[in-house]
Amino acid sequence: MKTEATKFSAEDYFATQTPPPTLEEDVEKVREFVKIQAKEGRNIVLVTSGGTTVPLELNVVRFLDNFSAGTRGATSAEYFLKAGYAVIFMHRQFSLQPFSRHYSHSTNPFLDFLDIESQDSASDPTPRISVTPEKRADLLTVLTSYKRVHSLGLLHTLTFVTVNDYLWLLRAVSQELSVLKRRSMFYLAAAVSDFFLPRQKMSEHKIQSGKGSLHIEMDQVPKILKPLVDEWTHGGFIVSFKLETDQNLLLPKARQAIERYGHQVVIGNDLHRRKFEVVFVSKKAASQDLTSSSQEDPFEEQWLRIPQSVVDQTTPGFPIKEIEEDIVQELIKRHTLWVKQG
């Protein structure tokens, strides 16, 4: 129920907002992918990545957006694939993707390391293209992993643009993954808008100027982690991210999320430190000692850090060390235990 003017429950949201036109087609393909991976006995991780837009008009000209480039999601997806997981990569259209991310950045444009070879034969007038020698080793590594993943069919990609697309897709994909029970993991790294404009409140056509300032009242996006944990999945290992710009809020907000939604891990990250520092917050396993348990802090925290100097020392697109490697390694350790306990 919509209890206040600005608060949608998840149920109310899906009853009043319209699904993206390709939803059924997308879900059909996910179902097929899940079936194949389940038959192969692989674990599947759903990685969400990139920002979401909030359109202001039905015939959309203007929208709100956020900063996320999708680095965390695309990088983590590669490490999950390397570790043998099948990956459903649900990302914002045109945000970074696994493998191609190494060359997408403007600091590493791929045209800069391709050469046109001089022709030495009149009988073959077609110019040949080659890779600049110093770039070959890196490209070969990326290309080999990319080809392997594609030939084994380990990566399935889905795209969203708006927060509405994201919510419908997340619900549908997590319901498809529920057949895997504990063998599924949810890695929710997309930067999802907290506010949106319901279609019932949207102007049909481009908002006209001329009346001075513009006032828009947005509604709160429903907290979908609750139904995700309680209804849509059956035992999936759920990892959400908490982004803050005030360091002091990171731990309290991460703890609050675990308490509220009852999932397995919140990874807290500060906007400016996120490439070299994150904190894992989770509930401690129930204590056997009944006398001390009531006073004990129910949460545990684990910081992962890499020296900032290491992050900075990089060939464009190829850092010496990426924090996502450690994040994924730690999560796989915890997920393996979670599957065993089940």
Counting contacts by CB under 6 A, is residue 167 touching ligand 9Z3?
no
Task: Quote the strand ranges of the chain, DSSP E.
Answer: 44-49, 54-55, 63-64, 86-92, 114-116, 129-131, 155-160, 184-188, 195-196, 219-220, 237-244, 265-270, 277-283, 299-305, 314-315, 318-319
Counting contacts by CB under 6 A, is residue 71 touching ligand 9Z3?
yes
Nearest residue (CB) to ligand 9Z3, 56 versus 69: 69
Please report how close the Cβ of residue 250 comes to ligand 9Z3 at its closest, in angstroms.
10
* CA neighbor of 192 nearest in space, from 60, 280, 73: 73
Please report how close the Cβ of residue 48 comes to ligand 9Z3 at its closest, in angstroms.
8
Please give the Cα distance from 31 to 37 (Å, whole number).
10
Please give the Cα distance from 230 to 224 (Å, whole number).
10
Counting contacts by CB under 6 A, is residue 72 touching ligand 9Z3?
yes
Nearest residue (CB) to ligand 9Z3, 33 versus 158: 158
Counting contacts by CB under 6 A, is residue 233 touching ligand 9Z3?
no
Residues 49-68 that bind ligand 9Z3 (CB under 6 A): 68
User: How big is the site for ligand 9Z3, counted in residues (CB under 6 A)?
Assistant: 16
Residues 277-336 that bind ligand 9Z3 (CB under 6 A): none
Residues 88-127 that bind ligand 9Z3 (CB under 6 A): none
Are residues 242 and 267 in contact, defined by beta-carbon separation less than 8 angstroms?
A: yes
Among 167, 191, 327, 331, contact with ligand 9Z3 (rule: CB under 6 A): 191
CA atoms within 13 A on the CB side of 121: 5
Please give the Cα distance from 139 to 131 (Å, whole number).
9
Nearest residue (CB) to ligand 9Z3, 90 versus 191: 191
CA geometry: angle 245, 250, 251, nearest 5 deg:
170
Among 90, 149, 177, 189, contact with ligand 9Z3 (rule: CB under 6 A): 189
Nearest residue (CB) to ligand 9Z3, 33 versus 277: 277
Stretch that binds ligand 9Z3, among 70-78, 147-155, 200-208, 295-303 (CB under 6 A): 70-78
Please give the Cα distance from 209 to 213 (Å, whole number).
8
Please report how close the Cβ of residue 75 comes to ligand 9Z3 at its closest, in angstroms.
8
Task: Quote the strand ranges of 124-276, DSSP E.
Answer: 129-131, 155-160, 184-188, 195-196, 219-220, 237-244, 265-270
Nearest residue (CB) to ligand 9Z3, 46 versus 135: 46
Stretch that binds ligand 9Z3, among 23-31, 119-127, 241-249, 287-295 (CB under 6 A): 241-249
- Binding residues vs ligand 9Z3 (CB under 6 A): 68-72, 188-189, 191-192, 225, 240-243, 269, 274
